[in-house]
């Protein structure tokens, strides 16, 4: 259920990007910096193909490199 909710929210964001020229430019610039050349439609298509197992597998590859602690100053 959480994966589906995240998918719906991301798809909603991408649909709003398609209606906003400034957001399109911003998204495309971010992608160019990251070395990704993918249209919003292609991203939306890839997003629909992500499964719960894909998310679990990605989580297993994460490496914790920073730990923040909260304390009194």
The 10s digit of each residue's pLDDT in 42-65 is 989 999 899 889 999 999 999 988
Say what the pLDDT of residue 40 is.
86
Are 27 and 41 within 8 A, CB to CB? no
Say what the pLDDT of residue 73 is.
66
Q: How far is CA 17 from CA 23, 41, 58, in A?
A: 5, 11, 25
- Residue 43: which residues within 8 A CB-CB, separation 6 or more? 14
Does the pLDDT at position 72 exceed 90? no
Residue-wise pLDDT tens digits, 6-48: 999 999 999 998 889 999 899 889 989 999 888 888 989 999 8
What's the chain's length in residues?
73
Distance (Å, rounded) from C-alpha 19 to C-alpha 62?
33
pTM of the model: 0.65
DSSP 8-state symbol, 66: -
């Amino acid at each position: 259920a959480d994966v589906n909710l995240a998918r719906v929210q991301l798809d909603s964001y991408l649909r709003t990007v398609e209606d906003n020229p400034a957001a399109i430019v911003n998204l495309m610039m971010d992608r160019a910096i990251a070395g990704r050349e993918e249209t919003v439609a292609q991203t939306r298509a890839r997003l629909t193909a992500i499964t719960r197992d894909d998310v679990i597998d990605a989580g297993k590859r994460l490496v914790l490199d920073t730990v923040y602690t909260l304390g009194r100053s």
